Amino acid sequence: MSADPTGDGRLPRDATVADYIVARLAEWGVHRYYGYPGDGINGMTSALQRTEGRARFVQVRHEETAGFAASAHVKYGGGPLGCVVVTSGPGAIHVLNGLYDAKLDHQPVVALLGHTALPAEGGGYYQEVDLLALYKDVASAFLAQLDDPSQARHLVDRACRTALARRTVTALVLPSDVQDEPAVPEPPYAHGYYHTSAVPSSMPTVPPEEEVRRAAEVLRGGEKVAMLVGQGALGAEDEVRRVADRLGAGVATALLGFTAVDHREPWVTGAIGLLGSRPSWQLMQECDRLLIVGSNMPYSEFYPPQGRARAVQIDLDGSRMGLRYPTEVNLTGDAAPTLRALLRELGTGPVPTAWRATLADATSKWRRSQREVAEQPANPVNPQLLFATLDDALPDDAMLAVDCGTATAWYARHVRVRPGMLASLSGTLLSMGGAMPYALAAKFAHPDRPLIALIGDGAMQMNGVNELITVSKYWREWADPRFVVLVLNNRDLSFVSWEQRSGEGTPMFPASQDLPDVAYHRWAEVLGLGGVLVDSPDQVPDLWRRALSADRPVVVNAVVDPAELMLPPHFTAEQARKTAAAVLRGDSDRTEILRRGLPSVLATYRPRRRGR
């Protein structure tokens, strides 16, 4: 039997419920499933096999990876919906972390969860877990169990429609026996049955004209306009630039919105927040108008002081307006058409060029200073140098997958993404272990583009070493084999170590922070991939040329300095005091931290008075 998942309704007469689910999901644009097999989903994997390749099952090493990859599938443009299919009990438990990444970053993902056969439910069967209770938070928008074949149509349709409309996670619990029952593509025309549509709902596009006019009046009067751009601005790159030019604005970016602007522009101040730039801090502290586009960046201390700036916000979800800063006008709509409408209302007028010149000067100085920091000697390799040289070497069509940790900080400060590139990370959940699943999803979405994954050794040990097996399984089918994994091997969970120093005033705690030294490049070679060891700064200048010209995926094991200073752009007096106290109390990296010049660096981070 060969089920037809093309969406034209031509299922064979002996099609199963699982066959029908696959076919119906195809109508919603789902053709790739991330997961790991198990008897709780045997019906689903058998149905996928019967599609003869029209629907693709991607076997990862762990269900958590499947969840991350489904989220990243949407982020990197692989399709409108991400989808995971995992088995009952442990499989459904494992996938939760990746699904929470999708939920918190507002990515539409449908989770298909295998479950105990109906007759055995409630009997304490093997792997029986109350999935409806377990998933009531992550899939709170829509969660249902399919107990009768006639439910399949309306449950699949509602799961997909809700995931797309609310940009969130939905879940269907599929008892193993029901998956193999005969399909009911057309429920009876009778009481208690539903006949639903597989056509997506329209989305809000442009707010009312009078509201757009009000927003223009607020923004037009500004002499120092700031824009904060997030992932909601992706796809509106031209509109963001045109509005910024009209307002003479400086633009800061949340990490999820990094690719919405060209970071080579002098008025783009870069990342904002704890890992952001000092010009972005200055932008927010000194602006008199603020336009927030598609961002919900949560660090309130990095917005303007309350009362300093009049603010307008644009977002698809009206419930997320005014949560971080007291906005005057909230425009519910899609970024691109809303910004175009705003541009019409703004009309022509004088542009505050002096403000842009101030920002350009500050940004230029910041970038030069960061390059100088990256080129300072370290023991043995300065991790920032790896990112600064990567910025020089990035292909125009590069895709970047970034993990959570110091890799995020160096990415935010040194890599200037530009139009045509794709880049993402676990932006709100901030989960370690996201970069390798993201990299896999990006490569499956665009197998003809080069991919660079930026990962700390902690995350690499979490799931990266295992998912290299997945890379080795699939890389030969990619049109462009370039898949470079940079591992920052400092044998330390260094991001947390710096948080302990600045937040707690305690030295690095070796029992919790020390990591084993792993020969990641050797493991890559065992798997038939390329491996490069970088343990001297002399090897850095030629690194990216070598890695990006290889004929197969490459793992770069970069032995970097764990004492490299990682400080936020605005360092408070209390943070400075605690950091210094931690070092003086006998931090194991004390010698290297002092050698790297902590006292002089802290002096440059003196708290500035408000309004100065």
Per residue in 100-128, pLDDT (tens digit) is 999 999 999 999 999 999 998 899 888 99
Architecture in CATH for domain 376-605: 3-Layer(aba) Sandwich (3.40)
pLDDT score for 469: 98
pLDDT score for 6: 41
Residue spans in the chain of domains classed CATH 3.40.50.1220:
209-360
CB half-sphere exposure, 439, CA atoms < 13 A: 32
pLDDT score for 7: 43
Over residues 425-434, mean pLDDT: 96
Over residues 89-107, mean pLDDT: 98
pLDDT score for 168: 98
Banded pLDDT at 493 (limits 50, 70, 90):
confident
Euclidean distance between the first and the last CA atom of the chain, given in angstroms as a whole number: 74
Look up residue 260 and give its two tokens. Answer: 């919405």
Instruction: Give percent above pLDDT 70 in the chain.
Output: 91
Q: Is the peptide bond before 380 cis (omega within 30 degrees of 0)?
A: yes
Over residues 3-22, mean pLDDT: 74
Banded pLDDT at 522 (limits 50, 70, 90):
very high
Q: What are the start-end ranges of the H helices in 145-225?
A: 152-166, 176-179, 209-220
Which CATH superfamily hosts domain 209-360? TPP-binding domain (3.40.50.1220)
Residue 533 has pLDDT above 80, yes or no: yes
Q: What is the DSSP letter of 60?
A: -
Banded pLDDT at 509 (limits 50, 70, 90):
confident
pLDDT score for 496: 79
Residue 235 has pLDDT above 50, yes or no: yes
pLDDT score for 352: 82
Spell out the CATH class of 17-180. Answer: alpha beta
Residue spans in the chain of domains classed CATH 3.40.50.970:
17-180, 376-605
Look up residue 330 and give its two tokens. Answer: 């909230």
pLDDT score for 526: 98
pLDDT score for 575: 59
pLDDT score for 574: 63
- Encode pLDDT of 541-561 as tens digits: 999 999 999 999 999 999 999
Round the average pLDDT of the chain to a whole number and report it: 91
pLDDT score for 351: 84
Query: Is-contact 397 375, C-beta < 8 A?
Result: no
pLDDT score for 606: 46
Over residues 127-153, mean pLDDT: 97
Backbone angles phi, psi at 297, to 5 degrees: -50, 125
Over residues 290-319, mean pLDDT: 94
Residue 582 has pLDDT above 60, yes or no: no
- Rounded Cα–Cα distance for residues 320 and 230 (Å): 13
Over residues 440-452, mean pLDDT: 98
**Higher pLDDT residue, 581 or 290?**
290
455: β partners: 487
Residue 510 has pLDDT above 90, yes or no: no
**Higher pLDDT residue, 578 or 51?**
51
pLDDT score for 579: 60
pTM: 0.92
- Encode pLDDT of 593-609 as tens digits: 555 555 445 444 444 44
Burial degree of 603 (CB within 10 A; 0-12, 13-18, 19+): exposed
Look up residue 16 and give its two tokens. Answer: 């199963």
